[in-house]
Amino acid sequence: MSAEPFLPEHPSLTSVRKAMQACEGCPLYRRATQAVPGVGRAGAALLLVGEQPGNDEDLAGKPFVGPAGKRLDRALEEAGIDRTTVFVTNAVKHFKWAPAEGKRLHKKPSAREVNACRPWLTAEIALVHPQVVVALGATAARSLFGNQVRVTRDRGEPLETSLAPHGMATIHPSSILRQRTDADRRREHAAFVEDLRIAAALLRQ
Ligand code: URA
Ligand code: SF4
């Protein structure tokens, strides 16, 4: 189970985006509307990796356009990072969901699905050639940095990767939205902004 056979012979962001739509590297393509490739310029210094598209992203074909994306935009702005200088993508390119109460409920991708989809992620990173890659949440952190990474323990710290000069992990913005009280949301949001500031500082190294 792998996306590898579906990679284009001559990779560019355009050819990768196109080839991704025909990927059958794992079962997730069957129930999703479309594959959701990363968005941003080649040469973006900062590359952010989420988990997988959500309901809104699956319909729009673009990453981080729903509630988690709005929260991410706000945090980036507060950290002094211009979203247009960032490449944003996901560890898994198709939306995994199950029907519940007439809606499409997000389901966590399995380790096998994350592994199957990694060739798309590494192809995007190689083409963008960022200074810093940041994993948003545990799924992206495992895909980028391996199974030993623990986001709660390792967030905001430098992590080794062969994919870019600097690596880092932080929480997923949707975990801020899941907090129960305003105080908890405020605290988690501030910590997230702080991690993004650390990533921005790595850019200047
Ligand atoms: N959550 C993600 O991890 N990625 C998206 O693109 C949207 C929500
Ligand atoms: Fe291919 Fe990734 Fe979609 Fe699976 S989730 S079909 S590996 S693009």
Q: Residues 49-74: pLDDT tens digits?
A: 999 999 999 999 999 999 999 999 99
pLDDT category of residue 132 using cuts at 50, 70 and 90: very high
Q: Is 84's pLDDT higher than 90?
A: no
Burial class of residue 147, CB neighbours in 10 A (0-12, 13-18, 19+): exposed
What value, to the nearest 5°, has the Cα angle with vertex 97 and ends 117 and 168? 45
* Number of helical (H) and strand (E) elements in the chain, helices listed first: 8, 6
Q: Is the pLDDT of residue 205 over 90?
A: no
With a cut of 90, say whether residue 27 has pLDDT above it: yes
Ligand nearest to the CA of 112: 2
What is each CA distance from 61 to 39, 88, 93, in whole angstroms?
Answer: 10, 13, 10
| pLDDT tens figures, 111-129 | 999 999 999 999 999 999 9
What distance in angstroms lies between residue 200's CA and the mean position of ligand 2's atoms?
A: 30
How much is the pLDDT for 60? 98
* pTM: predicted TM-score of the whole model, two decimal places: 0.98
Ligand 2 closest atom vs CA 29 = 6
DSSP code, position 4: G
117 lines ligand 2 (CB under 6 A): yes
11 CA from centroid of ligand 1 (Å): 24
Query: What average pLDDT does range 30-35 have in this prediction?
Result: 98
Rounded Cα distance, 58 and 64, in Å: 10
Using CA atoms, how far apart are residues 74 and 98, in angstroms rounded to an integer? 29
